[in-house]
Amino acid sequence: MVPVQVAVSFLILYLLFRSVNLDETIQILSQVNVPVLLFSVVFFILSSLAIGFGLHSALKASDAAPPFRTTQLANFGGQLLSDITPAKSGYFATPVLLNQLKAVPLEKGFMSVMSVGAINFFIKAAFSATALLYFLNRIAVDATMTNAMLVGISLLIACGVGLTVLVWTNYFAGLLLKLAKLPLVGKLIKKLCDIRAMFSKDKAGIRKSAKVIVVSVIASVVFSGISLFILAQSIGLTQPTFQDLLLMGPLTAVFMYVPVTFAGLGLQEAAYVFLLTNIGAPIEVALPFALLIRILAITTDLIGLPPLIKTSTGLFKKLDKK
């Protein structure tokens, strides 16, 4: 699938660039207000730190929390990997990073990451559904775009339900044991049963951290909205209001979980351009704005590069084994 995902990403970006006046776009980028841009970066980082705070709360609830700094470094490392993997799946390397950095037990790390992930999916789905209704009432959204966004929102809900069932409930335990006897898929389902068994000890404790995780994820969304609004000011994009961008962030993010490209590369940018141009923004400003979001997200996640390099040998051995 990798060649297909690369091809789809670059095809979408190529089609987007065909629609703009490149000279005008380059001129807009050359006039970016750098101090304001750097102020936006601060809120990009705060958004990531908020997720790390929720992860640290879950680890504390399972009596496996390393120093707060270590949790944040592992969180940034996982986010960096998620920036270059389909459906942001690279974030599930975070427990391995925690294990390599401070010997956090893998099962506790995975349970904490999936707890944060479940709540993150539900909250992002709620924001996205609200955003879709908001933009449907404000602009003319064609059926194709609406259906694509509904698919993305459905994926978020499905992932949230799946992780919630796996981490916090005992539902379907008997069914899974029966399905584990099936040919072909039985081995995979058996591994799922083993994971559930490892999680059973810490379920009660993890539930206690749910409120902190909810607040952390909401804070992350708000910080992200603030960063987008400041970024828009830095390139002279005045059409979207703060409310527009607060809702636009989660709505366009649903495309990052569609496993067609790497972390939604191309798809998310196209969604931003579509929404921004429909509320009056020139495409020559909307496209660089969308690309800057991607660049700043990856750049701020480079905070996680040192722990990735430090643990690279053990990390890849562990991922290959597990």
pLDDT of res. 313: 63
Predicted confidence at residue 139, as pLDDT, reads 84
Please give the backbone phi and psi of residue 86, each rounded to the nearest 5 degrees, phi first.
Answer: -60, 140
Look up residue 183 and give its DSSP letter. T
d(CA 297, CA 108): 27
Write the burial class of residue 127 (CB in 10 Å: 0-12 exposed, 13-18 middle, 19+ buried). Answer: buried
Per-residue pLDDT, 80: 92
152 near 158, Cβ under 8 Å? no
Could you give the CA distance from residue 264 to residue 159 in angstroms, rounded to a whole number? 16
The CA distance from 103 to 92, in Å, is 16
Model pLDDT, residue 136: 87
Which pLDDT value is given to residue 219? 97
pLDDT in the model for residue 293: 94
Which of helix, strand or coil describes residue 16?
A: helix
> Of 102, 58, 108, nearest to 77 (Cα)?
102
CB 13 within 8 A of CB 291: no
Q: How far apart are CA 195 and CA 205, in angstroms?
A: 17
- What pLDDT is recorded for position 61? 87
Residue among 78, 102, 29 nearest 285 (CA): 29
Helices 68-82, 94-102: crossing angle, 10 deg rounding: 140
Dist CA 260 CA 44 (whole Å):
25
Chain centroid to Cα 123, Å, comes to: 12
Beta bridge partners of 262: 86
pLDDT of residue 155: 81
One-letter amino acid at 64 equals: A
Supply the DSSP symbol for 90: G
- Residues 167 and 42: their CA atoms lie apart, in Å, by 33
**Closest CA relative to residue 253, chosen from 121, 90, 89:** 121
Q: Which residues of the chain have pLDDT under 50?
A: none
